[in-house]
Structure 1
């Protein structure tokens, strides 16, 4: 890597091409940026002082010796494109188009140095090859290249030409922070390092330009555009961001990660353990793809065909909006979605995708999904560790081809695993009686029970999505002022413990007003004045409504409700 100060002439070396990745997103600058750019160019020209125009990162491509050098524009697309358009207009207005040619076109054949992406190539070439000024009419609202040309053509005035703007003043005083990368260097790492400059490049963008070259437009349309960029709804789906652990990740990145975890488990590829560990790191996903395909000598077209098939399955089955919509009581991928997106358990995605691809029998598939729900929720109730979930759900279950409930049970029993164990009914009982969980987990446990028993009882009130409910302590944490007192410190400690357990926690449709939340039991149930209570916000909630008929709520009733929830959980989350 070489870094340092660069002039326009340094960047636009006339013996080489600068190539914006062909499948990069389009040029996006608009009026606000163009106006500022114009003002900055006037300032540079009049003051003749050095002006840094930001960073430009170029990466050497692997080219044969008889071809001109080609550098990929990793960062700087917007600035370099705007500079070309602005100076083209300036030269045409000054009747000095030869100055533009001698700077921004190659010396040998006068061809364009800056090779644009597929979105903007036609418009950009049209602008920089103009021989005289024109006005482009009926410009598409998405064509920012022609719009930029029209803006500069309209806004560079005669007064500017006479007094303010000089082509060579700009050429001599514009500077860049330049970073030149060798062919083998990792551009993703550079992006992470200079992230403070606002540079961002997604794994999907890197992979798109890794898989497809400028002469592979048909393959791009077949294997990428039709899958990930077909229309606005498709783009919105794949660009959706969710939080996974400490990271914000798009659906398309989750998909590429999941496919890779499935692929590296194929026994015939014989991926070694060290590489599996490396390829499971989210932060290095792009480099993992490149090295995996290179080192294990994989055919890109075969990979693209598989990606296409898996991507269809992913889009058809993984739906974040389940957190906002009523959850079906039937076992299957919908309930797994609620656990993944409602309870932040994205580690289930690779294995779930593997099941969807390889289990064609719907009953077998849904039975397995039901067992996964039982496994995850039982462990959640007893506060079992999730630290090994990534290894379990992205490695062992896939590599061992666990594709039925019976195989999953046999796998767990065969390992006698104290880390990945399935809690039995005794342990589940202790969990409902004693576990103190974070609010999201508690709400999820109660919600998933509610979704099963409500449908069984044919409740008329619609169940909302998991995200629509608030968690409420029936006996409030601040009980001492308005609830019956207890006589001993031991009794007080016991109450303070019990009110944090599952038997005292319920889901309601809206958080209570603070004054009602801490009121005594009768007031908390009915509300006071214009402030509604539990009864108003618990319509049809089977896990709560019956208990609002009680005249008193205490530690005994908390334990009884815990026993009720336990009974339902044992029916729903079986542990054969």
Structure 2
């Protein structure tokens, strides 16, 4: 690695070209960042005019990999690793200066072009003509800025940047303050940077990760994308074009960020948002030199992305749904989960459909899983169970699904543990007593009523979006004198009745005439509701009055429908702790001698379970001793390792080194000191009775 301080002009000399790889993130600078840079340029510009001696403004670093040089030519090509946002912005700013300056002096166009933007020894339009070659979607707008500025159009980020600097420089010209050569000198010579060149053998992605220069913050998927495609080397453009770019276009930035995290969590391990890249790299690093492995990983992620796009946009049963073999019933469940905002289910859904792709889960089983998940969520909702645990709960369930057992059967059992899935009695009680109208979010309240309406209509489709229905209180929230008299005449305290029953499901319905109904007496509401086509309103239209008995009876009817629609849990399921005997794992970990280590997978094989539930058990059971001697299969300490005592701040690596474990430069323990399942078996056989 070589680092040298210089300026933009030093960097963009004749016979050089900086190429932004296709897989690098697109140009993203917005007006705020461009304004900050312009203020720095303006300060240096004024100082040059005044003859003031101020330091150059440091704008950050440019990191690039130099391609193998052609011994017969002096032309040098660089692949940009980091800093393309700055390179692109400064090049666009100089193009804008070129065009404004040429209005008064046409020679400025060629002069500034040759000095900063093009290699004039190369034929115009040839591969080596431009000194900067942006990647992917930025290439076309930049080429227009460079070669045909009068026809710049559209609203790409590069075009917007060009217009920004064109306005700023034009304002200087109109004020009589533009000195083109001085402004070019300001941009070219007064903005300092550090130019870092690395070779392929120096693992440029490591340098990319460590850079903390000013610019647009990197997302976790940015880091993963750069890691993958830097490692893919000669295959990067093909794999990016065929698999990653379509994935990115289908999901967008936020969707891709969600996929990357949920893909990791689909193995049953909770990953914090800020740890996504670290976790992904940890899984890929052992095979990072295997290009086939990396390419297959991108293909697999793209396949999962096709499912993920349906999680995010399932309302459109496109050809993608058909290609993936998803039925109308499956799409309906996915549409419900998306409308509900059930993003916490996505890791579990990815796991289910990954198993389906692998041929281990039939389509009918996957549909059964979707029905179970929807029922689990809605039943908890109508009885007002807090939702803050669902994220970790669904992820933990993945790790407890035994291989070989029908996945829908296992999922229903795991969700039923510890009465997490409300049974029929709890649903009846919840619908009768829970203040539904103040529970959850308005769109969730409507969704439950809409699904009940569809169920009562025997699944006859109704376009709820076009109907624009809202929730109406039959007994209104503000009781008129007429309503109060009606309740008082029936022997009830109006205030007590409404506080107890007014917001329960039995007193709520859907209607398109909310404003008409408002605080009307029941007789008038009934006249209006008689014209309704909704099954939810048939009982209301047929009632002769509306009070305590009617609300309670309607609650029973809706509870019957809900119980029929959303299936019940598996009764009598024991807790997860009682469901598996961890004795052999506990004994093996306790028996590990100093100077040795084992992995979660080794212990899982010993005990006849999977690695993830084994890791979960070790992490959460304080009775397990020597847990720090259990590492990932590649010998690295799990980044999620924590001592059971929060006050314990010891470094597990230092302890292991002190016990004689050898670590390499990548912080991975020696495989020669690893005890696999046979050695663990022998270890237990040699320690009869109480483990020492």
Which residue of structure 2 aligns with residue 166 of structure 1? Answer: 180
CA 1:38–1:431 in 2, change beyond 3 Å: closer, same or farther? closer
CA 1:11–1:281 in 2, change beyond 3 Å: closer, same or farther? farther
Query: How far apart in 2 are the matches of 1:410 and 1:144?
Result: 51
How many residues align? The count is: 504
Residue 164 of structure 1: SS of its match in structure 2? coil
Of 543, 548, 559, 2:541 maps to: 548
Query: How far apart in 2 are the matches of 1:395 and 1:466?
Result: 39
Following TM superposition, by how much is the alpha carbon of 1:557 offset from its aligned partner in structure 2, in angstroms? 0.7
Following TM superposition, by how much is the alpha carbon of 1:567 offset from its aligned partner in structure 2, in angstroms? 0.8
Following TM superposition, by how much is the alpha carbon of 1:101 offset from its aligned partner in structure 2, in angstroms? 5.1
Residue 83 of structure 2: SS of its match in structure 1? strand
Which residue of structure 2 aligns with residue 302 of structure 1? Answer: 296
Query: How far apart in 1 are the matches of 2:316 and 2:156?
Result: 36
Following TM superposition, by how much is the alpha carbon of 1:558 offset from its aligned partner in structure 2, in angstroms? 0.7
Residue 82 of structure 2: SS of its match in structure 1? strand
| TM-score in terms of structure 1 length | 0.69
Structure 1 residue 261 corresponds to structure 2 residue 232: no
Bigger mean CA deviation after superposition, 351-360 or 51-60: 51-60
Query: How far apart in 1 are the matches of 2:508 and 2:254?
Result: 33
CA 1:424–1:121 in 2, change beyond 3 Å: closer, same or farther? closer
User: Does the Cα contact within 8 Å between 1:55 and 1:76 map onto a contact in 2?
Assistant: no
Task: Report Cα offsets for 1:484-524 as digits up to 9, x if no partner.
Answer: 345589663243221111111112235425xx412221233
CA 1:163–1:58 in 2, change beyond 3 Å: closer, same or farther? closer
Structure 1 residue 218 corresponds to structure 2 residue 238: yes
CA 1:322–1:509 in 2, change beyond 3 Å: closer, same or farther? farther
Q: How does 1:262-341 map to 2 (within 5 A)?
A: 262=266, 264-265=267-268, 276-277=269-270, 280-294=271-285, 299-316=293-310, 318-321=312-315, 332-341=329-338
Residue 458 of structure 2: SS of its match in structure 1? helix
Q: How does 1:40-59 map to 2 (within 5 A)?
A: 48=49, 56=59, 58=61
Which residue of structure 1 aligns with residue 92 of structure 2? Answer: 82
Which residue of structure 1 aligns with residue 135 of structure 2? Answer: 117
Following TM superposition, by how much is the alpha carbon of 1:474 offset from its aligned partner in structure 2, in angstroms? 1.2
User: Does the Cα contact within 8 Å between 1:59 and 1:72 map onto a contact in 2?
Assistant: yes
Following TM superposition, by how much is the alpha carbon of 1:98 offset from its aligned partner in structure 2, in angstroms? 6.5
Which residue of structure 2 aligns with residue 348 of structure 1? Answer: 345
Query: How far apart in 1 are the matches of 2:138 and 2:62?
Result: 21
Task: Report Cα offsets for 1:236-275 as digits up to 9, x if no partner.
Answer: xx23xxxxxxxxx83333322222222x44xxxxxxxxxx
User: Does the Cα contact within 8 Å between 1:261 and 1:395 map onto a contact in 2?
Assistant: no
Task: Report Cα offsets for 1:140-167 as digits up to 9, x if no partner.
Answer: 8689979969x97xx989x99x983332
| TM-score in terms of structure 2 length | 0.59
Q: How does 1:291-440 map to 2 (within 5 A)?
A: 291-294=282-285, 299-316=293-310, 318-321=312-315, 332-359=329-356, 360-397=361-398, 400=401, 404-412=407-415, 416-418=417-419, 421-436=420-435, 437-438=439-440, 439-440=442-443
Following TM superposition, by how much is the alpha carbon of 1:125 offset from its aligned partner in structure 2, in angstroms? 7.0
Task: Report Cα offsets for 1:13-63 as digits up to 9, x if no partner.
Answer: 9999766453356669999x99xx999999986883799999955464577
Query: How far apart in 2 are the matches of 1:217 and 1:255?
Result: 22
Structure 2's unaligned 5+ residue stretches are 70-75, 123-127, 197-203, 318-326, 571-692
Task: Kindly indicate whether structure 1 or structure 2 has the higher relative contact order, using CA contacts under 8 Å at least 6 residues apart.
Answer: 1
Following TM superposition, by how much is the alpha carbon of 1:314 offset from its aligned partner in structure 2, in angstroms? 3.0
Following TM superposition, by how much is the alpha carbon of 1:549 offset from its aligned partner in structure 2, in angstroms? 2.6
Q: How does 1:223-262 map to 2 (within 5 A)?
A: 223-229=243-249, 234=250, 238-239=251-252, 250-262=254-266
User: Does the Cα contact within 8 Å between 2:92 and 2:145 map onto a contact in 1?
Assistant: no
Which residue of structure 2 aligns with residue 445 of structure 1? Answer: 448
Task: Report Cα offsets for 1:416-445 as digits up to 9, x if no partner.
Answer: 425xx2211111111111112234433222
Query: How far apart in 1 are the matches of 2:39 and 2:287?
Result: 53
Larger Rg, first or second structure (1 or 2):
2
User: Does the Cα contact within 8 Å between 1:355 and 1:403 map onto a contact in 2?
Assistant: no
CA 1:188–1:353 in 2, change beyond 3 Å: closer, same or farther? farther
Query: How far apart in 1 are the matches of 2:494 and 2:148?
Result: 84
Task: Report Cα offsets for 1:59-102 as digits up to 9, x if no partner.
Answer: 64577999979551264365223123235555894369567656
Query: How far apart in 2 are the matches of 1:380 and 1:30?
Result: 42
CA 1:16–1:534 in 2, change beyond 3 Å: closer, same or farther? farther
Which residue of structure 1 aligns with residue 629 of structure 2? Answer: none
Following TM superposition, by how much is the alpha carbon of 1:450 offset from its aligned partner in structure 2, in angstroms? 1.5
Structure 1 residue 94 corresponds to structure 2 residue 107: yes
CA 1:404–1:227 in 2, change beyond 3 Å: closer, same or farther? same
Bigger mean CA deviation after superposition, 561-570 or 443-452: 443-452
Structure 1's unaligned 5+ residue stretches are 129-133, 240-248, 266-275, 324-329, 527-532
Following TM superposition, by how much is the alpha carbon of 1:568 offset from its aligned partner in structure 2, in angstroms? 1.0
Query: How far apart in 2 are the matches of 1:16 and 1:250?
Result: 36
CA 1:169–1:370 in 2, change beyond 3 Å: closer, same or farther? closer
Bigger mean CA deviation after superposition, 93-102 or 549-558: 93-102
Task: Report Cα offsets for 1:544-573 as digits up to 9, x if no partner.
Answer: 232123231111111001000111112122
CA 1:334–1:535 in 2, change beyond 3 Å: closer, same or farther? farther
Bigger mean CA deviation after superposition, 425-434 or 296-305: 296-305
Query: How far apart in 2 are the matches of 1:349 and 1:563?
Result: 33
User: Does the Cα contact within 8 Å between 2:374 and 2:566 map onto a contact in 1?
Assistant: yes
Aligned-residue RMSD, C-alpha: 5.3
User: Does the Cα contact within 8 Å between 1:46 and 1:164 map onto a contact in 2?
Assistant: no
Task: Report Cα offsets for 1:109-134 as digits up to 9, x if no partner.
Answer: 99866442234447757976xxxxx8
Residue 471 of structure 2: SS of its match in structure 1? strand
Of 562, 565, 580, 1:569 maps to: 562
